[in-house]
Structure 1
Amino acid sequence: MLRWFLFPALLAATPVAAQAPAPAAKADGPLILAFGDSLTAGYGLGRGLGFAPQLQDTLRRHGVKARVHDAGVSGDTTAGGRARIGWTLQRLGEKPTLAIVELGANDMLRGVDPAVTEANLDAILAELKKQGIPVLVAGMLAAPNLGPDYRRRYEAIFPSLARKYGADLYPFMLQGVVGNRALLLSDGVHPNFEGVKRIVTGMLPTVQRALAKTRA
């Protein structure tokens, strides 16, 4: 059973002011933009231990010389992501081969109307489509205490937008991690190094399929 009563601690992470990302280091191989919140940013982890560097290392061990650019902002909402997607892409200095969009958990924890969350994510995906960047949507589940109606509306957002934009979908970013204290930091919510490793392992086949499509 998922221990969603632990989830409010996500909001305890002090939001970090969005800063323009450094341009991606140009090199051979696909560039993946990891665009999200604290789960993408590697909250509470040392340099090189978060989602982006672990995904990059794992892809390279599987023969894909990818570069994964961390554009995660702890505490970010879909509104924050919508506000920064344009200049994030502009500052990269290179068009990403694939964008992983992981946003929406903080909206849910604040009880934001799912219609607002959906509109913001729609705008983010529309901008990526406009620039010809394929997308992998990393979905999220709602806390059951928000009620069945909210949960139904919220959880429908991610597969619906993935279908609309022809994006790949990883249904639940924290699959296999939520509720397992061995995979979490002391806050009981954010993944530790092993938790991120579990996320990357679970998501890897979806990332590989998404990258294969870009080469087709």
Structure 2
Amino acid sequence: MAFKHRFAAAPALFVAPVLFSALILFLVVCGAVSPARADTFTIVGFGDSLTAGYGLGPGQGFTDRLQAALRAKGLDVTVANAGVSGDTTSGGLSRLDWSVPDGTRLVILELGANDMLRGVAPDIAENNLDAMLAKLKQRNIPALLAGMRAAPNLGADYQKTFDTIYPRLAAKYAVPLYPFFLDGVSGHPDLQLEDGLHPNPKGVDVIVERILPVVEKAIADNRGPS
């Protein structure tokens, strides 16, 4: 699924702050708030505003809707929101260690859209994502890589180079890949906010529905002791 051409007019994506989510995550890391019971499978959604829930109300964002969908299937799961609006892969790498607490059972890594929209060289984005996956592997924290695709107006060469980042890294680290986080939403105005970039609540539900089987399998594959 390709991005709409209006992406060319967007100087930057995902610019709203997520102070509340950051505060809760900080309290979790510091031990002031317990993220879940000891037997709960804890997932961290680590990304930009697509994860953070830009422009959405309480309970409408990706992590909340994913948690609700997993619990509706009888799974004892908590999905923490570590999305930061405006984040790039460079920003993600700089905050990964403190944004993903010890005891996390799975990280959904969703970054790269802002790099792409700003025309950052694909090799920079790839190196940052590679370093994040390496850090998670070193900490024995499984990852699910959520891919992004380049807007066509950036040119065929950029698009081809950028789009191969995620399959290559998923193969290198043997992690599950969801090829395109906005699959089924990009190019569908009825599923997007007025900016034509971010999903609206219906769009979030489409994302959750499509990624859910991949997340369920990742949970099943990592059900061992935390």
TM-score by length of 2: 0.89
Q: In the alignment, is residue 43 of structure 1 matched against residue 54 of structure 2? A: yes
Q: In the alignment, is residue 183 of structure 1 matched against residue 191 of structure 2? A: yes
Secondary structure (helix, strand or coil) at the match of 2:60 reads coil
Map 1:87-102 to 2 at 5 A: 87-89=98-100, 92=101, 94-102=102-110
| Whole-angstrom distance in 1 between the partners of 2:114 and 2:13 | 10
Contact 2:3 2:150 in 1 (8 A): no
Residue 63 of structure 2: which of 52, 60, 71 is its match? 52
Q: Deviations over 1:120-139 (max 9, x none)?
A: 00111111001001110000
Secondary structure (helix, strand or coil) at the match of 1:215 reads coil
Paired positions, count = 213
Secondary structure (helix, strand or coil) at the match of 1:35 reads strand
Cα deviation, residue 215, structure 1: 2.2
Contact 1:100 1:135 in 2 (8 A): yes
1:120 corresponding residue in structure 2: 128
| Whole-angstrom distance in 2 between the partners of 1:29 and 1:75 | 30
Cα deviation, residue 9, structure 1: 3.8
2:2 corresponding residue in structure 1: 2
Give the letter aligned to residue 55 of structure 1. Answer: L
Residue 76 of structure 2: which of 65, 69, 93 is its match? 65
Question: Measured at CA, do residues 199 and 102 of structure 1 come closer, stay the same or move farther in structure 2, by a change above 3 Å?
Answer: same
Give the letter aligned to residue 26 of structure 1. Answer: A
Secondary structure (helix, strand or coil) at the match of 2:165 reads helix
Cα deviation, residue 15, structure 1: 5.2
Cα deviation, residue 156, structure 1: 0.7
Question: Measured at CA, do residues 15 and 122 of structure 1 come closer, stay the same or move farther in structure 2, by a change above 3 Å?
Answer: farther
1:30 corresponding residue in structure 2: 41
Question: Measured at CA, do residues 168 and 12 of structure 1 come closer, stay the same or move farther in structure 2, by a change above 3 Å?
Answer: closer
| Whole-angstrom distance in 1 between the partners of 2:132 and 2:2 | 29
1:79 corresponding residue in structure 2: 90
Contact 2:14 2:87 in 1 (8 A): no
| Whole-angstrom distance in 2 between the partners of 1:193 and 1:72 | 17
**Structure 1 residues not aligned, in runs of 5+:** none
Contact 1:137 1:162 in 2 (8 A): yes
Question: Measured at CA, do residues 128 and 59 of structure 1 come closer, stay the same or move farther in structure 2, by a change above 3 Å?
Answer: same
Cα deviation, residue 4, structure 1: 2.3
| Whole-angstrom distance in 2 between the partners of 1:136 and 1:10 | 28
CA RMSD, Structure 1 to Structure 2 (Å): 1.8
**Structure 2 residues not aligned, in runs of 5+:** 29-33
Q: Deviations over 1:65-102 (max 9, x none)?
A: 1100000001100000000001112xx3x411110000
Residue 206 of structure 1: which of 200, 214, 218 is its match? 214
Cα deviation, residue 6, structure 1: 2.8
2:31 corresponding residue in structure 1: none
| Whole-angstrom distance in 2 between the partners of 1:135 and 1:30 | 14
Question: Measured at CA, do residues 122 and 15 of structure 1 come closer, stay the same or move farther in structure 2, by a change above 3 Å?
Answer: farther
Cα deviation, residue 11, structure 1: 1.8
Map 1:103-142 to 2 at 5 A: 103-142=111-150
